[in-house]
Structure 1
Amino acid sequence: MNADSVCYRTFSPAGDGGKTVVVFPDATGDLQARAAASGEPLNVFVEAGNEASLGLRVFTPTREKGSSDSAGVAALTWWAATRPVSDLMTVSMGGETLDAQLCGGEWLLRQGAVVVEDVVGDLSVLGLGVRPAWTARTERPNFVVDVPDLAALDAFPANSEAIRVVNHETGTTGLIVYCLGGPARADVSFRAFGPLRGFTEDAASSNMLACVIGVLGHLGRLPTDTNLLKAAQRMPGAPSSLSAQFEVTASGVEVWVGGRADLQPQGTVLPVSDV
């Protein structure tokens, strides 16, 4: 990491896990080369911004990425640490413009209203037999299934070929497996798989958590005394902790998801400057 950038760990439950994001305060020069030189998998460049909006470009070491909630949360955290900002922001990246809000010291990004449909299928290929399940989406549809407890969730095998079969048969692009409860008083725990999207398992997926919350709303299992939930994402070796805010509406459950972004020790907050 260079002196012209800062590094954040997003959605980390206890100093590890989550995702590491390098934030660059400008978008000049060869952005791909700068991203490759950072040594980190996610890199976000601030193109423009003011007290109510932020324009970003996101890169992996090898390509420009579309939008990334982890990158958005890291950039918002840095931006708010260097100047006064509104608690309500808009973030533009990858051709999308997302609403963001500061909630309890954490930035949350709007995922939208989740549409849920009931499914009953033979999930023997996943080792789950014939059982109820759901499709849930804000944009791309995911297949959602529950398991009884955290032990069953952690033991679920990441079998890409079996997951592809289920996705093809159900017209979905991802698989989400969840259970209620979890470590550190989490309300829900889940794992997120996407071999059809080019990854076996994701360490921190805001949109897939939104789909889980949509299913809970569909089943009438959301709490009535709060509109906030804590979630544990359980990718083996890379746990994450996410926060969600929800509102039950006539068109589905409206969900915002985000979490903490912690400045890493080797980084320092850069001086305030206009971008």
Structure 2
Amino acid sequence: MTDLVPTLYRIYAAPRTEGGKLVSVFPTAEGDWQAQAKKAGTPLSVFIERLDDHGAHLRVFTPTRDKGDSDSAAIAALSDLQTAGQIADVSSVWMKGEEYPAQLCGGEWLLKQGDVSVLDTPEADFGPLAIQPQHVQIATTGRPNLLADMPSLNALTDFQPDVDTIRQLGRETNTTGLILYTLDTERADVAFRAFGPLKGFTEDAASSNMFACLVGALSVLGALPENEPLVRGLQMMPGVPSRLSAQYAPQPGGASDVWVGGAARRLNE
């Protein structure tokens, strides 16, 4: 069988940049998925197994392994299906047997991240990272992230991560990820960077779940725009800037219901 030709998408790229993530979308799940993902060569390849009345069932691969799930891959697949008129504006995707509700908002697909819970401020020593945050929080939708503010955009972009120190800080605070952020930006509501050596990566270029945790934490601080449920965030991994969008609704007890997504740009015809 001849390998299928995928459609290439750039997901989450900040405007007028080549940031975000590249995803190959295969219209069907035929042939050797792993071999086709390797041949595509993009960080993510998504195969549309089938469509039904409720949405799309997807399989996601990297060039070397079965990844199982990915918000970036899901947004690429949803964008491709929506362009072809094959899916409704409110739908769902299934990955690894789990349902992810999705909605089209302002031309961008958003996926439900669930309820973000913000926990008590932890005791944390940021001295080894040479930063002195004013606000320290833990936020989680299942895997807790440690959040700390930076005084300026320059301080955020100049920060040099030390993997061992970040890993040790996570162990001391029982968190798996570190999110550094600043409200000192004119191009979005918040700028941030996301680190996760305890999750298997040093820094992520576009992390929808970690952005959801940040939005929930900022909601508790009262730091989000009033009467504006859509939040824009710039993720500032050096060399690959991304822009993510979040829709949130505060819930009783300090939690927030958060959906996260972003732009999908098709690169080939």
TM-score, scaled relative to structure 1: 0.92
The answer (yes or no) to whether the contact 1:8–1:263 under 8 Å persists in 2 is: yes
User: What aligned pairs does 1:1-275 form with structure 2 within 5 A after superposition?
Assistant: 4-13=5-14, 14-50=16-52, 52-117=54-119, 118-129=121-132, 132-182=135-185, 185-251=187-253, 252-264=255-267, 267-268=268-269
- Cα displacement (A) at 1:120: 3.6
SS of the residue aligned with 1:186? coil
* Cα distance change, pair 21–130 in 1 and its aligned pair in 2 (3 A): closer
Gaps of 5+ in 2: none
The answer (yes or no) to whether the contact 1:44–1:75 under 8 Å persists in 2 is: yes
- Cα displacement (A) at 1:77: 0.1
The equivalent residue for 1:271 is: none
Q: Structure 1 CA distance, aligned partners of 2:159 and 2:96?
A: 33
- Cα displacement (A) at 1:121: 2.2
**What whole-Å deviation, never above 9, does each CA across 1:30-64 have from its counterpart, x for those lacking one?**
10011000011100000011454010000000000
Deviates most, 78-87 or 192-201: 78-87
**What whole-Å deviation, never above 9, does each CA across 1:148-187 have from its counterpart, x for those lacking one?**
111111011121111001001001111100011435x200
The answer (yes or no) to whether the contact 1:23–1:74 under 8 Å persists in 2 is: yes
The answer (yes or no) to whether the contact 1:182–1:232 under 8 Å persists in 2 is: no
Which amino acid is the alignment partner of residue 155 of structure 1? Answer: D
SS of the residue aligned with 1:9? strand
- Cα displacement (A) at 1:260: 0.6
Deviates most, 132-141 or 104-113: 132-141
The answer (yes or no) to whether the contact 2:133–2:149 under 8 Å persists in 1 is: no
Which amino acid is the alignment partner of residue 124 of structure 2? Answer: G
SS of the residue aligned with 1:62? coil
Deviates most, 155-164 or 71-80: 155-164
- Cα displacement (A) at 1:130: 7.5
Q: Structure 2 CA distance, aligned partners of 1:85 and 1:25?
A: 13
* Cα distance change, pair 61–84 in 1 and its aligned pair in 2 (3 A): closer
Deviates most, 201-210 or 9-18: 9-18
**What whole-Å deviation, never above 9, does each CA across 1:199-219 have from its counterpart, x for those lacking one?**
100000000101111111111
* Cα distance change, pair 87–131 in 1 and its aligned pair in 2 (3 A): same
Q: Percent of counterpart pairs with the same letter?
A: 48
* Cα distance change, pair 175–38 in 1 and its aligned pair in 2 (3 A): same
Which amino acid is the alignment partner of residue 8 of structure 1? Answer: Y
Name the Cα RMSD after superposition: 1.5
Which amino acid is the alignment partner of residue 68 of structure 1? Answer: S
Which amino acid is the alignment partner of residue 144 of structure 1? Answer: L
Q: Structure 1 CA distance, aligned partners of 2:134 and 2:68?
A: 35
